[in-house]
Amino acid sequence: MNNWKIAYQINKWELKKSIFNIMLSYLVMLVFSLYLAREFPLYLESGLVFFDLVFLFMFGAAPLLPKPKAFEVQQIQSKLFVSPMVVLQKHLAIKNNVIIRSRLIMHTLYTFPMQLVALLILYSTTSLHNILSIGSFISFGLIWLSFSIYVGYMVPSLNIGVRMFWGNNTIFSVIFLLLIIILLFGLTLVHVVFDHGIVYWSILFARDYPLATGGISILLAFLGYHFWRNSMRKSLGRLMYG
């Protein structure tokens, strides 16, 4: 617990400098939330691949929204990409566990509040409240909030640092675009094969098996947290930050 307190204390300066970007990310997430609420009836009726894509972005990749330059992941050595904040913390001889927790705190501030708001907007303003009871809605929320951990924690892990096989941002942009195309193809395939998208099926699982889906989601969040924490710890011990 003491490491969490120290991590919060050293994050105060970063939080102060990041407040505009955090509010901007909240605004973007709010716009996406309103889009999801507006398109939800059409999604249930005929399915929309873009609906699933937006949902995945909000709970898996939202932390990739731009941050202040001083805290954004960038290339600092040949093929080494890392947040300058992590480099500074390493030079100050801050414990690795504290650095990891500081990245997780900032990640949570950028994501969790608006992820929770997005779920509440979807439930309160659409027919979802007629499909899911309160208990089933909690299970549905756990499915996606756990997803934001076992998938979304990849982002703070990248903050810690990663060596790429390429050495410039242009190649990164091309690879990122290819990943988006592959994801779109995968989502489209799910719609074709299973007659609907992943959000739709997560609603049905939460409705029909709330305890099982909730329990599995909590387990996945637990495993995901420990996997990414251990990955960040290994990176901090292995990478040379200069």
- Cβ(132)–Cβ(206) under 8 Å? yes
As a whole number of Å, the end-to-end CA separation of the chain is: 30
pLDDT confidence of residue 209: 97
> Where are any strands of DSSP class E within the chain?
74-77, 80-82, 162-163
Which range marks the domain in which residue 193 is found?
A: 2-40+47-238
Residue with tokens 């892990």: 157
DSSP letter for each residue of 64-112: GS---TTTS-EEEETTEEE-HHHHHHHHTT--HHHHHHHHHHHHHHHHH
Q: How far apart are CA 24 and CA 21, in angstroms?
A: 5
pTM of the prediction?
Answer: 0.89
Instruction: List Cα–Cα distances, 68 to 16, 32, 52, 59, in angstroms.
Output: 11, 22, 29, 21
Q: Give the tokens for residue 111.
A: 């994501």
| Predicted confidence (pLDDT) per residue in 12-35, tens digit | 888 888 898 889 889 989 999 999
Hey, what amino acid is at 210?
A: P
* Mean pLDDT, rounded, for 70-89: 81
- Cβ(116)–Cβ(29) under 8 Å? no
| Predicted confidence (pLDDT) per residue in 112-142, tens digit | 999 999 999 999 999 999 999 999 999 999 9
114: nearest Cα among 24, 225, 221: 24
| Predicted confidence (pLDDT) per residue in 157-179, tens digit | 888 888 776 556 666 667 778 88
Q: How far apart are CA 58 and CA 224, in angstroms?
A: 18
Q: How many domains does the chain have?
A: 1
Q: Which residues pair with residue 75 across a beta bridge? A: 81
Name the packing angle between helices 49-56 and 198-208 (round to 10°). Answer: 70
